[in-house]
Chains A and B, each alone.
Chain A
Amino acid sequence: MPLVALRDEALGYGAGAVLRQITLSVAPGERVVLLGRSGAGKSTLLGALHDRIVGGGHRVALVPQDHALVPQLSVRHNVLMGRLDDRSAAYNLTSLLRVRSRDRAEIDAILDRVGLGEEAPRAVEGLSGGQKQRTALARALYRGGAALIADEPVSAVDEGQAGRLLDEMSAAFGTAILALHDVGQARAFATRLIGLRGGRIAFDAAPGEIGAGELERLYAA
């Protein structure tokens, strides 16, 4: 029973579909990485998969490409936002004034794992790009769920750190669908690589079955 299945679908905004004839299903336990040049439709496909999996009644953690953090709130509050839907509005509003110590302990443990333990009380607007990205990731880790959907979640951090963060992600989520631009990272992380080119799926296979030539064609002009 797949987590999500698309059958010959056109995806995109309004009439001008970005992706055509997309057939693809993701089973629980898979770690899928989408590859392709910018504008190839990775974000569109991730958005569609997110909506479909959520629509199927599963819990999904999301890391959007623009992070979608609230700059005026603290790092801790932004992470807390990963579970707003689990709690009553009254609980959430009082948390704005003061995060309960139980939640605080849990959030701060996650922030330690992504190397942001020191920044917990700081407003997000004062953070560097990499710190913001890790805050968005921490929010997804705090949320948890059946699947993680993340759009370029390690694009702004250095390589060593990126590897550790990807390990955190695969440890925390049974299923993960990511867009990455670093092929090395993708090969290390994925159980399955999907290449997008010209609005279609160019390849869809395990990393070991995809040669350098195929990857080169994917990024060729």
Chain B
Amino acid sequence: MLPETLSRRSVVLLFVAAAALALPFADIAPAGHDPWAVLGRMARGALSPDFGAVDRIGRALWLTVTFAIAGVAAGAAAGFVLAPFYGARPVRALCIALRSVHELFWALLLMQVLGISAATGVLAIALPYAGIFAKVFSEQMDEADPAPLAALPPGTDALSRFLYARLPVIRGQMWTYTIYRLECGMRSSAVLGFVGLPTLGFQLDGFFKLGDYGAASAILILYVLLIASLRHWMRPRLVLPWIAAALVSVLMVRSPPMGSGALWRFLSQDIVPAPLRRGEGAGAVWDWLQPLLTGQALPGLIATLIVGQIALVLTGALAFAASGPLVPRVSGRIGAAATHLVLVILRSLPEYMLAYLFLQVFGPSMLPAILALALHNGAIIGHLTGREGAALVPGLRRDAPRGLSLWGYELAPRLFGPFLALCLYRWEIILRETAVMGLLGVATLGFFVDMAVAELRMDRVLVLLVATGLMTSAVDALSRALRRRVGRAPLRSGAEGRGGAAVEMAADRTA
């Protein structure tokens, strides 16, 4: 279907053209009220953070950290157990299913069974992360140096082989990846607050409803500092104390009791398609499914693709523009530091939270989602591209130019390949996040999921989640095919050539 090789230019043109085609169908007009007045109030709040509500801020941040630690620890443990069996088809299928559902969607599902409880929060992170950890750990095991394994005495049992010749070899990589995942978990955990869990999102929403922008600013500043300093407060020897503290504080979260038998009712009735539940036979299932697909899944899919496509192109433009000023020899030491600071903030705040903030400014439309996705992902790709650029500088000739000429001639041509690969890699992630932004009211797939949840029609929720999963895996496959065709342009770390973990971390590491 695709030609053997594609020039980078034609891929860029293809994506820009698709975004241009999507633009007329995108609803991006700011809704109604005057955005500048709100923006002004928010800016004043941001510039005068108010740390007075210390108890509420402290509690929300503490629970954000502890939910993240508990969820990531559980996910890592489950993934570690599953990893050696990842080659088995059923295990692999289970892991793919687990990670194809976004944390927020998991939370919505789990709430039907467990209510707004600690278990819901922890599992909403742990379940998808288990699927991801299993895949990454298994890749790390497969790619580990085989020499120590070959040197073992013949007849060594499988567990000993693993514990002596495998685990020690990959322990460092596993730790690095887990720390990276904890950083993602901090974002997931914060965002879970927007569906009712007592983490940062919940408190932020509370501050906004009261118009308390100073407190909102304070909590966001502390949150960014927490993420930026993660490698200092999470160290190998502190893991067990942290997990213990996380479990205790998570278990102390009070939640309304659920009626008994909620899980059984969920599995045996709620998610069974309505016609089957009513005993109307298989023929009626199509009559039930067809309007669901054409009336909800399809429009949701189209809206998701429209928002995602525009956001992707904007992401690329922002990232490319930001990566130059990140190099001190291009923009000067102060310019580079200022760019770096802005990008750190944009990378630390999850897309969903940024979209929530923009929603307060611009009102409901596709605009907040597009801006949030583009700024967050643009900051990540810009950071990585700029870092590669800065690493190129010492190897340049002695008489290399400075400023924009350096950027335009020496750096940008060399960085364009890796930059494009990163954008293609982020494409699937952007679409996944676009789908979930429907929970904020944009008519992407998540909007219809949210509606079905509100109507307690879990059978429909299931169909919509499957549709979302199919969309992201199709885009993932297409992105992989495109990346192969524009040729290998590995990062300095050679990430593209190695396993998924390296690419993934290279593609969206924050700190």
Contacts and interface: CB of A to CB of B under 8 A. Distances in A.
Interface string A205-218: 00000000000000
A60 B399 CA distance: 9
Interface in B376-432: 396-406, 408-410, 413-414, 416-417
Contact of A70 (B398, B403, B413, B417): B413
A81 B396 CA distance: 13
A47 interface: yes
Contacts of B417: 72
Contact of A85 (B396, B405, B408): B405
Interface residues of B, number: 18
A27 interface: no
Contacts of A143: 399
Contact of B398 (A62, A71, A73, A89): A62
Contact of B397 (A62, A85, A90): A62
A84 interface: yes
A200 B401 CA distance: 33
Nearest to A78: B409
Contact of A50 (B398, B403, B405, B406): B398
B180 to A, nearest CB: 30
Contact of B408 (A62, A68, A93): A93
Contacts of A60: 399
A72 B412 CA distance: 10
Nearest to A82: B399
Given A68-B396, A92-B408, A93-B408, A84 B413 contact: no
Nearest to B411: A70
A89 B405 contact: yes
B408 A64 contact: no
B404 A73 contact: no
A64 B397 contact: yes
A90 B408 CA distance: 10
Main secondary structure of the interface of B (DSSP, over half): helix
Contacts of B396: 68
Contact of B409 (A47, A61, A71, A81): A81
Nearest to A136: B397
A73 B409 contact: yes
B413 A72 contact: yes
A77 interface: yes
A92 B405 contact: yes
A96 interface: yes
Contacts of B409: 70, 73, 77, 81, 84, 92, 96
A62 to B, nearest CB: 5
A209 B371 CA distance: 74
Name which of A72, A84, A87 has the most chain B CB atoms within 10 A of its CB: A84
Nearest to A97: B408
A89 B403 contact: yes
A72 B416 contact: yes
A106 interface: no
Contact of B401 (A64, A73, A84): A84
Interface in B107-161: none
A156 B155 CA distance: 55
A167 to B, nearest CB: 24
A96 B404 CA distance: 12
Name which of B401, B403, B416, B417 has the most chain A CB atoms within 10 A of its CB: B401
A182 interface: no
Given A72-B414, A72-B416, A96 B408 contact: yes
Interface string A42-71: 000001001100100000111010001011
Name which of B399, B408, B413 has the most chain A CB atoms within 10 A of its CB: B399
Interface in B279-314: none
A51 B408 contact: no
Nearest to A140: B399
Interface string B319-352: 0000000000000000000000000000000000
A70 B399 CA distance: 14
B410 A70 contact: yes
B507 to A, nearest CB: 22
A56 to B, nearest CB: 14
Nearest to B330: A89
Given A47-B398, A62-B397, A62-B398, A93 B414 contact: no
Name which of A64, A89, A90 has the most chain B CB atoms within 10 A of its CB: A89
Name which of A47, A50, A87, A93 has the most chain B CB atoms within 10 A of its CB: A93
Contact of A84 (B398, B405, B414, B416): B405
Interface in A144-167: none
B348 to A, nearest CB: 32
Interface string A111-149: 000000000000000000000000000000001000000
Contacts of B405: 84-85, 87, 89, 92-93
Contacts of B400: 68
A138 B410 CA distance: 17
Given A70-B413, A73-B409, A84-B409, A62 B399 contact: yes
Nearest to A69: B397
Contacts of B403: 89
Contacts of A96: 408-409
B133 to A, nearest CB: 37
Contacts of A68: 396-397, 400
Contact of A93 (B398, B404, B410): B404
Nearest to B402: A85
Interface of A: 47, 50-51, 54, 60-62, 64, 68, 70-73, 77, 81, 84-85, 87, 89-90, 92-93, 96, 143
Interface of B: 396-406, 408-410, 413-414, 416-417
Given A64-B398, A84-B405, 10 more contacts: A47-B398, A62-B398, A68-B396, A81-B410, A85-B401, A89-B404, A92-B408, A93-B404, A93-B408, A96-B409
18 contacts: A50-B398, A51-B398, A54-B399, A61-B399, A64-B397, A68-B396, A70-B409, A72-B413, A72-B414, A72-B417, A73-B409, A73-B413, A84-B405, A84-B409, A89-B403, A92-B404, A92-B408, A143-B399
Q: Which 4 A-B pairs have the closest CB atoms?
A: A89-B404, A68-B397, A72-B413, A84-B401
